[in-house]
Every structure is written in structure tokens, then in C-alpha cells.
Amino acid sequence: MPQPRESGSGPGDRAPLPSARPAGLAPGLVDRYGRRATDMRLSLTDKCNLRCTYCMPAEGLEWLAKQAVMTAEEIVRIVRVGVDHLGVRELRLTGGEPLVRADLIDIISALRKAHPELPISMTTNGVGLDKKAAALKSAGLSRINVSLDSLHEETFAQLTRRPFLDRVLAGVDAAWAAGLGPVKLNAVLMRGINDEESPSLLAWALERGYELRFIEQMPLDADHGWTRRNMITAAEIRELLSVDYVLGPDPRARDGAPAERFEVRRRDTGSGDATGPVLGTVGIIASVTEPFCSDCRRTRITAEGKIMSCLFSREEFDLLGHLRAGATDQQLAERWQDAMWLKPKAHGMEHVGLDAPDFVQPDRSMSAIGG
Ligand code: SAM
Ligand code: SF4
């Protein structure tokens, strides 16, 4: 797999990044455009046991060597630098598939011990979650997001290239029973495959009290097969849902959240108006067609300890190599600040396939970055 450009890298290379971050700035992960990152996404592994068509190729990817991946202790140290020195207020564990890490429970226990009040959530494909949900809760995980694109066995298997729907559904139920709620479900809609299923997926989630979020497919698939024509847009998602439901604005503040949330009420088949009580909410993450870059509060750490200021960054900055070479917390914090200072203004995706020939898809797929 071609690797993205890496700047200022090399374990032990303590040279400042070419960021020209002005001295004397307020502490924290600020960038040139006035944003402050407080939401940290940390990838625990690049490995995965599914092969979702919009993320991984059928044959998988070349996994990172074990020694290249952050150990539990390194993860705890990096999170501590983020929280204690840089104003990180929220942590999401992701991957690859976090549940495939054998020391996952130990990592969460250690993070919780170090940060008793920190909201720690995890995004998972749910395979094996039924067996681990209770232990995750006891270890200190606050909440969970499970990816679920279809409730039909065949469609699920077509999208993930694995026949594991039952296992995922058992995982979702177990997470709820273990108290890892509110349980959020992530669904990516693919044209002609699961797009028509979106209202029944929503009905299923509403009945059980899960918060479903539809995510626009982004050009982050390893096969580079994404096309604008095939992507189901947020506008289309609203239209698909509006046959059965009326979506009203959610009065809660969006507060930098990627999902635009809507209150859901049933649509009266006769009058076409909303009828009955609010059934719950649904979220739509319109990263491509209605980007929220100007409000972005994210900073990302890949499984091999590289800082990515944006999913679409073509530059990444080594943090783990510096940690292993003996950098102090203060030095790590400064390097992280330098990297975030260079965060691009926007990903440029809103025009891809239209009039932005300069948009270049990152070499890494979603699983290798940490979605
Ligand atoms: N393996 C876990 C999972 O699937 O939930 C965590 C990692 S996965 C990369 C995180 C999220 O990214 C999932 O909800 C998945 O659906 C989403 N995702 C992956 N590739 C995507 C793409 N090309 N566009 C939009 N979302 C994508
Ligand atoms: Fe694995 Fe998650 Fe990517 Fe699917 S979306 S292949 S489950 S990392």
C-alpha cells in the first residue's frame, strides 16, 4: 500500500515541524483557522474481521507489523498527553476493529483509571461484542457505536463480505443490556444494495431505542471505487425516509457533532402530515455534500501512532517514534500542536467528481486511518 507523505518524521528527529505555529498561543490543539480539537479518535488496530466493500478490499490489506502498533502503555501515555496537556475532552476508540485487540479490556481499564471523568466511546462492527459487552462496561467504557448497514442476511453479507449478521445483532443487544447506551448505530447506504432498506432500518432502531445515523459514503475505500454518482447523498436519505416519516429539527444543539440530528414522527398516509409522538431521533452525517469542516473538533491518532489532523490529510506526523525515542510529555504535546496547526481548512470533497480535479483520494483507506 502506498504510504502517505510523512513530515518531520524519523524516530528521534526532534526538529520542529515546518508549521510556523506562532509562539505564545493558548495551550491546546488549535489550527490556523481558529478551530480547537477536543475530540480524539484513536485507532487501536488496522486489522479487521469484516471486509466492508466501502472500506477494505476483499483480500484485506497488508497489516502493520505487531511492533509498529502502539502498545497498551503507549496508548495510555498518548491519551494522557492529549487530556492533561492539550485539552482533549472526549475519546473515541476505533480501528480497524477494536474488538480484535486481545488487550482491549486492559486498555480501557487503564484509560479509565487515568481519567475517571473522560467520556470514552468505541466504534465497532459488533462481531464478538455479545461476549465482551459486560466486561467493556465494567472496564469503564462509557458508550458504544455499532456499524450495521442491513438487517437482511444476504445484504449484510454482500456489504461486509462475511455472514455475521446474527453475531452483530447479538452484540447490539448485549451492549444495550450491559448499559453501554445510548447505543448508536452507523449505516452507510450503497445504491441498489441497501438504500431502499433505510426506512425499515430506522423503524427497527426506533423500536429498540437505538439512535441510527446514516453516513454518506466517503472516498476512503481501499479499492478506490467511490463515485459521486453512486453515493447516496444526505438529501436522498432524507427523501427515502420521508415516505414513512416526518423529520423535524432536533432542538438539542449540534455542538460540533458531525451528525445533523432530526426528531422522527410517523407520516400520516392520508394527510401526509406528521402524526403521533416523537419516536426518537435519526442522524445524518453528510461529510461529502454538507461538510462541517469549519466546526471540526477532531484530532486522530492512527494505530501506529501517527497524528492525522483530518481524515483526508495527505500528511501525517509521527508521534509514537518520538515517544519511543524518549520524548517528554511536553515535547510530545508540542509536536502534536505543530501537526494540528497545519490542519487543512477543508477536505475539498464537496466538489469531488464535480469541478475539483485537484481532490486526491488519500492512499490510506478508512480502516487504516481509524474511522
Ligand atoms: N470496524 C469498526 C466499524 O466498522 O464500526 C470501526 C472502524 S470503521 C472504519 C468506522 C466507521 O467508518 C464505520 O461506521 C464504517 O461504516 C465507517 N466507514 C468505513 N468506510 C467508510 C467510507 N468509505 N465512507 C463512510 N464511512 C465509512
Ligand atoms: Fe472493518 Fe469497520 Fe472497515 Fe468494515 S468499516 S471493513 S468493519 S474497519
| pLDDT tens by residue, 166-219 | 999 999 999 999 999 999 999 999 999 999 999 999 999 999 999 999 999 998
Q: Using the predicted structure, report yes or no on whether residue 364 has a pLDDT greater than 80.
A: no
d(C-alpha 89, C-alpha 293), whole Å? 19
Q: Does ligand 1 have an atom closer than 6 angstroms to the CB of 180?
A: no
pLDDT at residue 325, rounded to an integer: 98
- pLDDT band of residue 228 (cuts 50, 70, 90) is confident
Q: Is 58 exposed, middle or buried (0-12, 13-18, 19+ CB in 10 A)?
A: exposed
| Under 8 Å between Cβ of 272 and 334 | no
Q: Does ligand 1 have an atom closer than 6 angstroms to the CB of 371?
A: yes
Atom of ligand 1 nearest to the CA of 188: 16
Q: Using the predicted structure, report yes or no on whether residue 19 has a pLDDT greater than 50.
A: yes
| Under 8 Å between Cβ of 95 and 120 | no
CA 342 distance to own-chain centroid:
21
Q: Per DSSP, which regions of the chain are E strands?
A: 5-6, 29-30, 36-37, 39-43, 90-94, 120-124, 143-147, 184-188, 211-215, 245-249, 260-267, 274-285, 298-301, 306-308, 315-318
Nearest ligand, measured from the Cα of 223 = 1
Pairing, β 143-147 against β 245-249 = unpaired
Q: pTM, whole model, 2 decimals?
A: 0.92
Residue ranges lining ligand 2, Cβ < 6 Å:
48, 50-52, 55-56, 95-97, 125, 147, 366-367
d(C-alpha 223, C-alpha 3), whole Å? 15
DSSP code for 351: G
147 beta partners: 186
pLDDT at residue 18, rounded to an integer: 56
Above pLDDT 70, what percent of the chain?
A: 91
| Under 8 Å between Cβ of 346 and 313 | no
Q: Using the predicted structure, report yes or no on whether residue 77 has a pLDDT greater than 70.
A: yes
pLDDT at residue 29, rounded to an integer: 96
The CATH class for the domain spanning 29-369 reads alpha beta
Q: Using the predicted structure, report yes or no on whether residue 5 has a pLDDT greater than 70.
A: no
Nearest ligand, measured from the Cα of 369 = 1
Q: What angle do CA 275, 235, 196 make, to 5 degrees?
A: 75
pLDDT at residue 6, rounded to an integer: 53
- pLDDT band of residue 362 (cuts 50, 70, 90) is confident
Atom of ligand 2 nearest to the CA of 97: 8
